[in-house]
Structure 1
Amino acid sequence: MEFFEKLKALSYRARLTIVLHTVFTLAETIGGVFFNLYLWRLTSSLALIAQYQFFFWLAMMLGFILIGYAFKNKGMSQLFRIGFWLNFIFFCLIVWLGERSINWTVYLGLLSGLAAGFYWSAHEVMVLSGTSDKTREMFYGVLMSGESVARIAGPALSAGLIWLGAKWRGEALFGYYLLFAFVALLFLVTELAINRVKDVSFERFSLRGVFGLYQRKAWRWNLWRSFVDGLMISRWFVWGVLSYLILTSEVWLGTMMSLVGVLAIISNILIGQWFKPNLRARLNSWGAALLVIAGIAYPLLLNPLGLVFDQILGEIIGIPLFTFAWLAWFYLAVETDYDGKKRQFEYYAGHEIWQGIGRILSIGLFWLLASNLEQVNLARWWFGGLSLLFIVQWWLLKKVRTALVKAGYKEE
């Protein structure tokens, strides 16, 4: 009963944000992990995947700057719509290009990254306007449970359509085209269904304002955390390929991801309900420890047991423990600025710029190394090494919390 009362207390904007994010995550789960696997099936090249990822994150970072100047005082529903239209075009192009997609990875990365920039810019404004510090852990508990529902449906659907394509046409690639056509349709339907009711906007943006925020101590440490988090982004696509190699088929990978999603729903809701402001620091520390252990064990073992270890300690328990706290402190760093709500997009753009720089450096270096070294061994060491950066993130978040407490924030 207590859970449903807290859920009811969430604002209309918060609930709308959860619905849109669940749909986006469903499409992202299919189009992210399985598009990378599609490129791997065509070329067996991590370097090509890194090239696509490099231009994706570059476009997303630059997109935030473009949006900041072009969409001040304009409703976030416009940004959602543009982002969903661009994603619709992206997936239609993949189906149309077929195996020629490998010759267009730069342009596909730029298009998909720009689409993501429009979505995430709208999402972050909606989160701040629709939640408060008291409801934020509960909001993220429900939001991440919605993500988990999508991560159940997405991989299961992906595995089913790829299997169906193989049976129908005798080739797995046809199943990928069925999958991408479905995602295109999903974005089209969602775009047409977005409601303009209770729209919100941001008021101020300039690059001078973005870089001026570095003077605020709580935000300065948040920016360094964003940079380190960006350095870790290449773990994500490396994990997808390594897990596919462990399980040997898209069907097994999709099934495993769906099972993890079921458990993650339960863990996210329980942790979100249990989380209290005075427990943030302790639970964040536990989450960081679990993520480091899982991140080292997975590439060392590189077998089904290591994968199970990684998903239980990392995805199901470690991620929510670690993430809920840093997201709460992230938005508090904005709210404790007396002009924070007006300048919120400058905060988000600063986060994306610093994170984007980290992403581009990380993926660019991996791209360079993968072109010259044995790929699977490189991926193992790369994943394990980057997992240690959770320790650096944890230390930076301690600095954020200390700065917030000095600024008058009370953990109650």
Structure 2
Amino acid sequence: MYTGSRHFPQQGTRSRHQDKHVWQEVRKGPAEGQSQGSQPEPKKEPLDAQSKLLLAVNGLFGVGNALSGTFVNVYLWKSRGDFTLIGWFTLVHYFTMALTFWLAGKWVKEHNKMNCLRAGVTISAVFYLLVLLFGERAADNFVLLGAVQGMSAGFFWLAFNVVYFEVTEPGNRDRFNGWAGLLGSGAGMLAPWISGFLITRMESATGYRLIFTISLVVFLIGAAVSFFLKKRETTGTYEWGLSWRCLRNKETAWRKVVLALMAQGVREGVFGFMIALLVYVHTGNEMKLGNYSLISSAVALVFFMLAGRYLKPHRRGRAMLIGASAMVLLILPFFWQVSFTTLLLFGIGVAMFFPLYSIPMTTLVFDLIGKDEESAKRREEYIVLRELSLNAGRLLGTGAFILVVSTTSSPLAMNWLLLAIGSSPLFAYYFMRKAVVTA
């Protein structure tokens, strides 16, 4: 999701000076005679062809993951019935993902970022090929599978985020993020339902093999489509120690942004797999899990579309607070009962409020990366810092999950764990608000 080369304005990009100018217009105070609530806002810009093509690649990546990603954890859990194994699989995934981000930063900065994007999609296909080859022994190879899945995510999202930054600008990032959320919700709505339908209509092992095969094919199509994205210029030398220098510099807003991103990652690390797994555990039916995804993602599709269209820069802080607070309150019914009904209500509620939290969170970070020419030159390093921060939070959250489930099987303990981890968006809002004020 970026910018910076010697001769900037290619088709599908904007100049560093434009990005700098727009950031300054957003950050400066109200003009004389202008009310505090009517600060100048970035001009709304349409998405160009390269932005739309990038959305298409992202959509295919999302479809491939939605078809099978929802059911990989179920597949592993059915083999062992062990939450701890799922936790370790996820922990390996996030660790490898973080390491891949850091190491691949040099590739993206100095060499061919499009090949990095294609590698991410292709390795995702390899992951599902391995799952097919291992079959019932997949759970015995969770370390290898977690590492391969982490590598695919690291390569893809690093390159995707850099290209996203280059083909968008402050005037259309909310729109792009809204469309990305809408496509993700569309994939999450239909793909898991189709997978659940196929699994329950076939002999279980055959159904799982079929959806893993379909995902493999979808990722290969995504890799082919990515060749229509233009090769992007590279410039500069990768600074391995930029992340550490940012953390040591007390004057930079990045110190607070890192804390906000870590808080965001804490929730993502556990809720990304745990809610779907709980739906299956409490229903024992893949079709019910598909129905859950269909309903919650349909609601998310509508609300991502609305948020992407109507969310204004001066409303971002309030939107984040409302979204974060609502996501915490939606966990409380679990203390009364954890059932398909309460899980579905949770999923619908999160689908409604998550866009208010996630779209501003993403947009503000990337606007900070493009705040001036010098910052935009180091976009790859800042994106690596962003992803390392998110994954640090994911590792922290997943580590806490492993610690709890390996020591107790108490439902009450699990509820308190979900509430503690699920409250992290409030901390993300607090630190991001401080960062924006001091940026």
* TM-score higher than 0.5: yes
Task: Give deviations 1:229-264, integer Å, cap 9, x for gaps.
Answer: 222211222212112233331101101211222222
Secondary structure, aligned partner of 1:194: helix
Task: Report deviation, 1:77.
Answer: 2.0
Task: Report deviation, 1:142.
Answer: 1.1
Decide whether aligned partners of structure 1 residues 202 and 224 sit closer, same or farther in structure 2, where only a CA change above 3 A counts: farther
Residue-pair matches, total: 393
Q: Is the 8 A contact 1:55 1:113 kept in 2?
A: yes
Q: Is the 8 A contact 1:202 1:343 kept in 2?
A: no
- The aligned counterpart of 1:185 is 217
Please tell me whether residue 270 in structure 1 is matched to residue 306 in structure 2: yes
- The aligned counterpart of 2:193 is 156
- The aligned counterpart of 1:3 is none
Q: Is the 8 A contact 2:95 2:150 kept in 1?
A: yes
From 214, 232, 241, the equivalent of 2:277 is 241
Please tell me whether residue 350 in structure 1 is matched to residue 382 in structure 2: no
In structure 1, stretches of 5+ residues that fail to align are: 1-5, 167-171, 405-412
- TM-score, structure 2 normalization: 0.85
Q: Is the 8 A contact 2:68 2:195 kept in 1?
A: no
Decide whether aligned partners of structure 1 residues 266 and 42 sit closer, same or farther in structure 2, where only a CA change above 3 A counts: same
Secondary structure, aligned partner of 1:71: helix
Matches within 5 A, 1:251-400: 251-298=287-334, 300-315=336-351, 317-374=352-409, 376-400=411-435
Moved more, 379-388 or 85-94: 379-388
Moved more, 292-301 or 48-57: 292-301
Decide whether aligned partners of structure 1 residues 83 and 197 sit closer, same or farther in structure 2, where only a CA change above 3 A counts: closer
The residue type paired with residue 253 of structure 1 is: L
Point out the structure with the larger helix share: 1
The residue type paired with residue 98 of structure 2 is: M
Task: Report deviation, 1:318.
Answer: 1.1
The residue type paired with residue 67 of structure 1 is: A
- The aligned counterpart of 1:409 is none
Decide whether aligned partners of structure 1 residues 310 and 202 sit closer, same or farther in structure 2, where only a CA change above 3 A counts: farther
From 139, 164, 177, the equivalent of 1:127 is 164
How far apart, in 2, do the equivalents of 1:197 and 1:326 lie?
A: 26
Decide whether aligned partners of structure 1 residues 183 and 302 sit closer, same or farther in structure 2, where only a CA change above 3 A counts: same
- The aligned counterpart of 1:195 is 227
- The aligned counterpart of 2:50 is 13
The residue type paired with residue 369 of structure 1 is: V
Please tell me whether residue 174 in structure 1 is matched to residue 210 in structure 2: no
Moved more, 62-71 or 91-100: 62-71
Decide whether aligned partners of structure 1 residues 38 and 245 sit closer, same or farther in structure 2, where only a CA change above 3 A counts: same
How far apart, in 2, do the equivalents of 1:153 and 1:188 lie?
A: 20
- TM-score, structure 1 normalization: 0.90
How far apart, in 1, do the equivalents of 2:229 and 2:390 lie?
A: 32
- The aligned counterpart of 2:7 is none
How far apart, in 1, do the equivalents of 2:391 and 2:317 lie?
A: 26
Identity %: 23
- The aligned counterpart of 2:24 is none
Cα-Cα RMSD: 2.0
The residue type paired with residue 155 of structure 1 is: P
The residue type paired with residue 359 of structure 1 is: R
Task: Report deviation, 1:8.
Answer: 8.4
